[in-house]
Structure 1
Amino acid sequence: MGFWLIMLFVSLRLRWLAWRNPVFRRALQRRNTLMLWRTHDGRIARWFHFTENRVRSGPGLRDRCHVTVSFHDAEYGTATLIQLLKNQRVFVTGMRQRKIRLSGNPKGLIWFMNVVAGHLIPGGVQLWRKPSRPQGTVKPRRRDQG
């Protein structure tokens, strides 16, 4: 259920971004990519079609996808997608363990990870934790603290 729900929310967020975010709309220009995210057995699947200024999505399997990302099972897919927010190496580790299979053009997945994934969470990855100051910056003093 978690994997299905995450995929649904990702599709809603991508559609909203294509409608409202000018930076994301520029990333979609000259793009015609059909991606499929699924479990190995195909019980849970969702396709994403990225076209110029638009993202369409739907449940189920789809033929002739440019990129297919297949997870071992729904639980592993859910855990990986949640951990992916903090550490993108989790995806590579899953591919080495053969729990994540990639078929099709890997450039589409690289584009998704580098361009699209950064827009998925409102406010960036630091949604659940307080943003920290960069190292070397000093907290400004108030005038009365001399």
Structure 2
Amino acid sequence: MLAPQPLYHIIYHSLATGDGMSPEALAHLLRQARAYNQDHRLTGLLLYAAGTKEFVQVLEGPRDEVTRIYQKIAQDERHKHAFVLHEAPATGRMFPDWRMGFVSTDLKDLHTTGYFPLTSARDYQRPPGLAVHAPEQLRRFLADFATAQATDE
């Protein structure tokens, strides 16, 4: 029997293509993600701000699985400009009970949490991989935001 792999997480940001994601498209995406994650020991959170068409996602689990799914996600045509905000080994899961927690919010709701948009349309001259928020601040924000506002499956 193989020894369990240490935990790893990736936090990435991207922009939805076109007019953004409809509620139906998001529901379909979540069904797919939750089924895949269940089978591959992955957990996480997906945050979608419809006003700015921004995604922020946390993926956590065994490193090879996290890396594999992020590479697949980065090629998905439903979004663009995916870049990693933070990735590292993890001492524990931020979202241990969530195959994929989800928060959809209006931009005005995000402002009440202290969130500010990570990008703007003109901001994409930034080199991919540039961390906009310090990793620990970003991790705390995501955990606090999910605790306060997310509804799990």
TM-score, with length taken from structure 1 = 0.31
Of Structure 1 and Structure 2, the greater strand share is in 2
The structure number with the bigger radius of gyration is: 1
TM-score, with length taken from structure 2 = 0.30
Greater relative contact order (CA < 8 Å, ≥ 6 in sequence)? 2
Of Structure 1 and Structure 2, the greater helix share is in 1
